[in-house]
Amino acid sequence: MFDPVIAPSGTLLGLLQRGRGDGTLHALTAPRAEALAALNHCVLRDPRHDWQVENRSLYYARLHLDLDGDLGAIEAHLFDAEDAFDTGESRTGLALAVLGHLASYGRRDALDLLRRYAATGSNWAWALDELALRDDDAGLRALAAPVLARFATDAEGEAELAAVVRDAFEPRPWRLWAEDPREYVSARVRAAHEAGCFDRWQRQMRPSGPRPGWSVRAVFEWAQQGLERGAALHVPAARCLVAVAGPEDRPEILQAARDGDDGARCTALRYLADRDDPDALDLIEGAVATGSTPVVEAAVDAFERMRGAAVVDRARGWARRPDQLGAAAGRVLACRGGAQDSDLVLGALRDAVRGEGPDAPTLWTLVDGAGRLGIACAAPVLRHIYRETASSHLRGRCARALAVTDPAFAVGFAVECLWDCEESTREVAARHAETGDARVVERLRRLAADPAEEDEVQTAVRSRIGPDASAM
C-alpha cells in the first residue's frame, strides 16, 4: 500500500486523517462544504499506514451521518474507470467499509451502492463481505449470477472459484447460494466448496519444512536457504531445534551463534534466548557488535523476548547505548523494569521522539511503559505524541498512559477521546471523561444507545450512567 500524505495536526484534514475526536468536533462547527470535502478526502484516500489494524470506517460513517452528506463522491470513486486498472483493496476498501456502516444505520442509498459494486466492481469480494453482514437473503441471492459470471467455467475458472469460496471472510452468501433453487447456481457453488475443502486437506497432508528427524545442521542449512531466498525462517527453525537438539548439540549451537552463517546465527540466537541459556546475553551483545543487519535484528528481537532478573539487570547497563540494543534495553525496562528504571524509560522515550519522530515503532512499548510505571513527568512527551502521531493505535496507548500520568486528562484529552476512531480509546474516555462537561453527558448517552458501538465501550459507558453510578 502507498504511504499516505498526512496533513498537519492542527488542520481539520489532519485531525480527520488521524481519526481524532477533535476532528469530528471541529468538522461539526466548520462550514459544511469544507467539512464534507475533508471527510471525502479521507474516505477516498485512505490515510492509514496500516489499514489492517487501524479503524476509521465507523468514525467516518458517523461523521457522514452528522453532516447529512450525500454519496456522490464515493459513488464516483467506486465506479471510476480507474477501478478496472487499480484493483488493490487499498483504493476502495475504506469507502466500502464506510458504506457498510452507513447501510447498518439505515441508509438505503449506501446499501444500493454496495450491491451495484459487488456486481460490477473489481473489489467485489469486500463489498460482498459488507453485504453479508447487512443485506437480506433476497438481496444476496440477486448477486449470485453476476458474481459467478466472474469465473470461467473451464478448469482454471472453477479452481479460482473454489479458492474464493474456501477463503471467503464472510461465508454467508456462499452458504445461501449453495441452497439456491436455481440448479446452475447451487450445483456450481457446492462443487466449489467441495473442491476447496479437498485442496485444504491436501495442503495439510503435504507439510513442508524441517521435521523432528532432521539434524541440527540440517535445520541451520534450511534457515540459511530461506535467508538466501529472502525469507526469514530463523523463528520456525529455532522452534524446530527444540525438537531435534539434545544436550550434546549445545557446543554446535553456541558456535553457530558466535560465527555461523547468518541463517544459522539468527536461529541459534533465537533458540538460546528462548531457553534462557546462560551464554545468550553475551552472544547477543557480540552479534550486535559484529553481525550483519539480519543478525543484529534477530539478536535484538531475541533479547526482548527473554525473561528473568538477569535480563533486566543487563538492560539497565545497555539502556544508554546509542544503538539498536540500547533502544531494545529501554523497551525491556518499559515492560519489566521497576520504579527505579523510570528515568531510563523516560530518557528512551524522549530520545525516540527526538530521533525518530512521533510515529516511531519503538514508541508503542515505551508509551505503555510510561503508563505502567506512572511516570508523571512523561506527560508532556505523551501529549506531544498524542497530538502528532498518525497512528490511531499509538494515540490510544498515549491516552491510556495519560490517564495515569496526567491529572488534567479527565477534563482534557479524555473528552475528545469519546469521539475517537478506536473503540479501545473511546472505552478509556468513557471511564475517565469528566461528566461536568455537557458534551460528555450527551456523548455517553449516544454511545450507550448506538447499536454499532462495541460492547466494551457500552459497558464502560453504563458504568458511568447506569442507575447505580454516582458520577452523573
pLDDT at residue 436 in the model? 85
Encode the chain (472 residues) as per-residue pLDDT tens digits.
457 889 999 999 999 999 999 999 999 999 999 999 999 999 999 999 888 889 999 999 999 999 999 999 999 999 999 998 888 888 999 999 999 999 999 999 999 999 999 999 999 999 999 999 999 999 999 999 999 999 998 989 888 988 888 888 899 999 999 998 988 888 898 988 887 554 554 554 455 555 556 788 999 999 999 898 888 889 999 999 988 888 999 999 999 999 999 999 999 999 999 999 999 999 999 999 999 999 999 999 999 999 989 999 999 999 999 999 999 999 999 999 999 999 999 999 999 999 999 999 999 999 999 999 999 999 999 999 999 999 999 999 999 999 999 999 999 999 999 999 999 999 999 999 998 888 999 999 999 999 999 999 999 999 887 655 544 4
- The Cα 421–Cα 19 span in angstroms is 5
pLDDT at residue 206 in the model? 54
pLDDT at residue 315 in the model? 96
pLDDT at residue 214 in the model? 77
Contact 84, 122 (CB under 8 A): yes
pTM of the model: 0.89
- The Cα 342–Cα 333 span in angstroms is 8
Q: Which residues contact 86 (CB under 8 A, 6 or more apart)?
A: 122
